[in-house]
Structure 1
């Protein structure tokens, strides 16, 4: 008795590559939208886009081959630097608004 594994159990390599490219394109589009929202002072919109980006990254990471530990660490450090920069910018805007007279 021979056991056969279904063909559809694992996506083919070209399908994985296409899915990875799609994830990268969606991620780039979301990052551009976030930059635009930030430049327009739309912090709520930017935060919503960041949440969408986080869920996209989670979904894409689950479907791609495992990354090396160092690459994941580097990616998270980059994201933390970007968020800190954004926080500093928002705090600066808040200080400026508090300085203005009504």
Structure 2
């Protein structure tokens, strides 16, 4: 009697590397979706998309343009402003939920 191999035990199909244009297109979609999630206050969704974007960039091995020290500082300051904005939105939602009658 032969047992069938479960689907999850089969080897995964080989992942073909994405072309540069495919990587850029998918990156643009993820960045747009991240901005949309941020604008709606969906911080968890935005974080998940950021993780997906990181994985995509690792898979595509998109070359990072060399940045000057000032450009890195500017980027970090922008990231901090974005995170503070998301934190403010989350705190406002929390206050709203706490103030609602049960």
1:78 and 1:20, CA in 2 relative to 1: closer, same or farther beyond 3 A? farther
* Counterpart residue number, 1:75: 75
In the TM superposition, what is the alpha-carbon distance from 1:60 to its structure 2 partner? 8.2
| Higher helix proportion | 1
Pair 91,61 (structure 1): closer, same or farther in 2 beyond 3 Å: farther
State the number of aligned residues. 84
Equivalent residue, structure 2, for 1:85: 85
Q: Which runs of 4+ in 1 moved over 6 A?
A: 19-24, 57-62
Deviates more, 1:20-29 or 1:88-97: 20-29
Q: Secondary structure, in 3 states, of the residue corresponding to 1:71?
A: helix
Give the C-alpha shift of residue 62 in structure 1.
7.0
| Structure with the larger RCO, 1 or 2 (CA within 8 Å, 6+ apart) | 2
Indicate the RMSD between aligned Cα atoms, in angstroms: 3.1
